[in-house]
Amino acid sequence: MPFQKVQPEKLSTSVVRQIEQLILRGVLRPGERLPSERELSDRLGVSRPSLREAVAELQDNGLLETRAGSGVFVAEVLGNAFSPALIRLFAAHDEAVFDYIAFRRDIEGLAADRACRMASDTDLQVIDTVFKRMEAAHPKRNPAEEAAIDADFHMAIIEASHNTIMLHMLRSMFDLLREGVFYNRNVMFKQRTTRDDLLEQHRAINTALQKRDPAAARAAVTAHLDYVETALRDEKRALRNEVVARQRYQHERER
């Protein structure tokens, strides 16, 4: 029969598997620096030659990169989910913006549901910590800071869902959101009433997650993104009306 003796796994192979898993699960993020060789070999309990062999293999596989004088980093393995031409197309058309929000509503609702059932206590603590940062930032009225924490909050929920494909796909898409490809999130945080509403919506999401209530968490995410969609539609309508009024005024002056 075609059985073969089981061979002990090389230490470097075990290191490769562990680092691959950390990258796959999103624990090690693109661009993140690994600990020094001495520290990492101590943490992993392997010799430096074994660690160097593992790092070399991960570099050959495109998962790690060495930067002269800086150390070893996780490679930018995510890239863009879309081509530059498609990104420019998204940015130029409202239809893509609202399709993006609808996509987020479905996927993040599912992520919140999964997080309630599958997140560890540590995962939920991370989400709660990000929400507390959000509360602390609220009185400062710094739109850029609040928008950044908002993205961190939603990504923490996706990470807590423990679905690696969802995690890497939405990380790439959130990078586009941070860059303002779909809409300028900072604008939303400049309005006092909107800011207050958004904080309470995030509170409702966090409360449902901490209670591990999947239905309530999904409903809170849906309500939040419904609100975002309505606010954006109102903002775009106001801008269009402003442009029309300006054109009308210019036309009257030229008559």
Q: In the predicted model, is pLDDT for residue 6 greater than 50?
A: no
Residue 233 token pair: 């539609």
Identity at 247, one-letter amino acid code: Q
Contact 54, 12 (CB under 8 A): yes
> If you compute the radius of gyration of the chain from its CA atoms, what whole number of angstroms results?
23
pLDDT at 129: 97
Residues 93-151: tens digit of each pLDDT: 888 889 989 999 999 999 999 999 999 999 999 999 999 999 999 999 898 898 889 98
Whole-prediction pTM: 0.75
Average pLDDT, stretch 14-21?
88
- For the residues of 72-132, what is the DSSP string, one character each? EEE------SS-HHHHHHHHH-HHHHHHHHHHHHHHHHHHHHHHHHH--HHHHHHHHHHHH
Residue found under tokens 């869902």? 161
How many whole angstroms separate alpha carbon 185 and alpha carbon 93?
16
Which stretch of 88-92, 94-98, 179-183 has the lowest confidence by average pLDDT? 179-183
| Crossing angle of helices 214-254 and 192-210, rounded to 10° | 160
Share of the chain above pLDDT 70, in %: 87
Residue of 64, 24, 60 whose CA lies nearest to 40 = 64
